Structure 1
Amino acid sequence: MEVRGNVTDGEYSDASRVRLNVNGKNKLNEDLTVFGRYEFEITENEDDNDANLNTRHLYVGADTQAGSFIYGHQANAVTYLTDFTDLAETFSGYVNENTVTTADRSKNTLRYVYQADALTVQASATQNANDNADGYGLMAAYKFSPELELAAGVATSDQEYGNGTDTDDSTSYLVAAKYAKDSIYLSAMGMAGNISADGIEDSDFVAADAFAAYYFGANQENVVNASYSYYSADDIDSLDTNFIGIEYARYMGNFALYGSYKLALNNDNSSDYTAGNRENELQFGARYGF
């Protein structure tokens, strides 16, 4: 469970939540292991005592000699790559959420994972009737050393953008790198392609994500990190993302405390609490996992 609050333009907004999950795994024989996961998130409405329930993971899968096969509400193939930079407690992981197949998770998704020594390959296909969306993703990553890993991927989707039953295509090309050694972690992700919106087709876009962290303390229980997120589509101003995030977090076993500040740049529209306005945000939180 996590208790946290945002201060945006001098106004406080609660963002507390509880996440619960159930995991299972069963080794049937030397060549086959089956597994499953269900995770949901509960948030409370600020105006009343009602709660909102949101499914985050709901899938089953099998580990075989040929790789892993997973089906359900789960990560996309390129999530492996975007996770390089999505590591802050708060202000990271924004720029890949604009299409179904680049988002962290999607419904009705079949994903294949193959790992051999330093190589990781993933492919996913999504058929989401509820959002009238479908598409696929493909990525490959290679660890050149224990410290350095590079990855590249592509994802495409055909989905609604608020315009009735009409669908439009969007395609994203991604590259990423991460470096971790001792107390230092550095990562960067670049993305480009075309995206559609309500009444707009094939708008070119570019995006970038960067994350840097320094861990310190006897057991590296303290971390200071900085992130940068940028997204710009030629014809869709509402998607503009351009901010710097700074954060300090302290981890004490299952308990964590953190404070984060987001400095909005130019026409940043990423704030969850405003629409189309540049807003700085300050967030404090405490999280307990069990």
Structure 2
Amino acid sequence: MKFNKYLLTMTSGLIISAPLSAVNLYKTDTQEFNIGGRVEVRGNLTDGDYSDKSRVRLNVNGKNKLNEDLTVFGRYEFEITENEDDNDANLNTRHLYVGAETKVGSFIYGHQNNAVTYLTDFTDLAETFSGYINENTETSADRSKNTLRYIYEDNGLMLQASGTKNANNEADGFGLMAAYKLTSELELAAGLTSSDQEYGNDTDTETSNSYLVAARYSKGDIYLSAMGMTGDISAAGIADSDFVAVDAFAAYYFGDNQENMINTSYSYYSADDIDALDTNFIGVEYARYMGNFAVYGSYKFALNNDNSSGQGRENELQVGARYGF
């Protein structure tokens, strides 16, 4: 079933998280090399304005078991998007890291997930409108450069820690996360991050801190998750503005092979003194999965003070088709 396969990929703690349709190019008892990616056409309608959000993602990854106690691995993934005004393309690195898996855990360095990404992924599962509220600081965002991460797993327990030193954004900080599977259906998690980074004040930096809790439940055709965040965040000319945030996601899969999915999401973020970060919307979505191919339609209902579209309070419609390989 597609839903259960996706959850396995997301939650099993695999260091190299390959897409479901990755192609194995080379494999022996000790080595393997894979390639994967997607071509995705997407159109977005916001306040009557159409924009093309199509993209291509490609990745290569491999691992080498050196002995019973040590396996080394690496991954590179990039995304290509087109400029709307010309034929030029934008290239964005998503992952670029190497690591080692040992008996005491895994160590990874490079451009990669942060420690708390495991937790924030509980609710970041919609094709379009989810995963907004954790992106406002370097160490709570999905990925960051120059990051060292440690992962430990044992009998349902997941521990992660990461530290970041990103000279490009004048940012450094750390993140910690712990999760535990109470049963095969229910998992709880908590984490914290701290980021000392530049917020448009030349070389001046301010510290932002986040505290996170999350839970998810899956059984049969149902998936439910929720995440809460609080702490303080800074911006240009503003230091230590208190914030609260909530993210929730619910999905139902149906059909002979769970090839149909409907979901709804809710995202809320409010900082006392930084109105530009306000997020407050409900998303609804339908997706159809057919092997390596998927089509979907998503609609975002903007609520009071929502600025997630970048144009103030605006509803959004997005449709897309994706082929993975």
**Residue 262 (structure 1) shift:** 0.4
- Pair 1:11-2:11 in alignment: no
Structure 2 alignment gaps of length 5 or more: 1-38
Residue in 1 that maps onto 2:185: 147
**Residue 11 (structure 1) shift:** 1.4
**Residue 231 (structure 1) shift:** 0.2
Residue in 2 that maps onto 1:263: 301
- Pair 1:79-2:79 in alignment: no
Residue in 2 that maps onto 1:191: 229
Structure 2: how far apart are the matches of 1:104 and 1:137? 12
- Pair 1:283-2:321 in alignment: no
Residue in 2 that maps onto 1:202: 240
Residue 233 of structure 2 aligns to which amino acid in structure 1? Answer: I
Structure 2: how far apart are the matches of 1:252 and 1:30? 39
Residue 207 of structure 1 aligns to which amino acid in structure 2? Answer: A
- Pair 1:37-2:72 in alignment: no
Matches within 5 A, 1:1-290: 1-272=39-310, 274=311, 277-290=312-325
Residue in 1 that maps onto 2:32: none
Structure 1: how far apart are the matches of 2:63 and 2:244? 40
Residue 31 of structure 1 aligns to which amino acid in structure 2? Answer: D
Q: Secondary structure at the match of 2:228?
A: strand
**Residue 24 (structure 1) shift:** 0.8
> Identity over aligned residues, as a percent?
81
**Residue 83 (structure 1) shift:** 0.2
Q: Per-residue displacement from partner, 1:253-285 (whole Å, max 9, x unpaired)?
A: 10000000000000100015x2xx101000000
RMSD: 0.5
How many residue pairs match? The answer is 287
Residue 280 of structure 1 aligns to which amino acid in structure 2? Answer: N
Residue 225 of structure 2 aligns to which amino acid in structure 1? Answer: S
**Residue 10 (structure 1) shift:** 1.1
- Normalising to structure 1: TM-score of the pair? 0.98
Runs of 4+ in 1 over 4 A off after TM superposition: none
Structure 1: how far apart are the matches of 2:156 and 2:243? 31
Structure 1 alignment gaps of length 5 or more: none
Structure 1: how far apart are the matches of 2:294 and 2:199? 38
Q: Secondary structure at the match of 2:226?
A: strand
Structure 2: how far apart are the matches of 1:203 and 1:177? 26
Residue 278 of structure 1 aligns to which amino acid in structure 2? Answer: R
Structure 1: how far apart are the matches of 2:173 and 2:182? 30
